[in-house]
């Protein structure tokens, strides 16, 4: 859905590490007019459980209109193709 301007972002924010790719993905979404539902994965266990549940190897993961777009590089490509 090209007109859906809301996105869900799952990103890692640990006490000793904030994933720069998650920060980048959030900035790209906001700069492109998306309302971001920011789902912070706050522990290694949460990150591992999310990756296992979604069948992905990395975070962040962006979902728009119920469709998984992927990580920040995938998001950048998806936005460029719009």
Which domains are delineated in the chain?
A: 6-80 (3.40.30.10)
Least confident of 4-8, 24-28, 46-50, 52-56: 4-8
Tell me if 38 sits within 8 A of 6, measured CB to CB: no
Question: 63 and 70 in contact (C-beta within 8 Å)?
Answer: no
Q: Is the pLDDT of residue 59 over 50?
A: yes
pLDDT band at residue 1 under the 50/70/90 scheme: very low
pTM score over 0.85: yes
For residue 64, what pLDDT band results from cuts at 50, 70 and 90? very high
- Rg of the chain (C-alpha set): 12
b/e map 29-63, b = 16+ CB within 10 Å: beeeebebeeeebeeeebbeebbeeeeeeebbbbb
């Amino acid at each position: 859905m090209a007109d859906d301007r809301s996105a869900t972002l799952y990103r890692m924010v640990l006490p000793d590490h904030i994933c720069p790719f998650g920060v980048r993905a959030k900035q790209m979404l906001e700069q492109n007019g998306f309302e971001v539902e920011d789902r912070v994965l706050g522990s290694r266990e949460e990150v591992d459980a999310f990756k296992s549940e979604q069948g992905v190897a990395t975070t962040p993961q962006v979902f728009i209109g119920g469709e998984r777009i992927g990580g920040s590089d995938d998001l950048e490509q998806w936005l460029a193709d719009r």
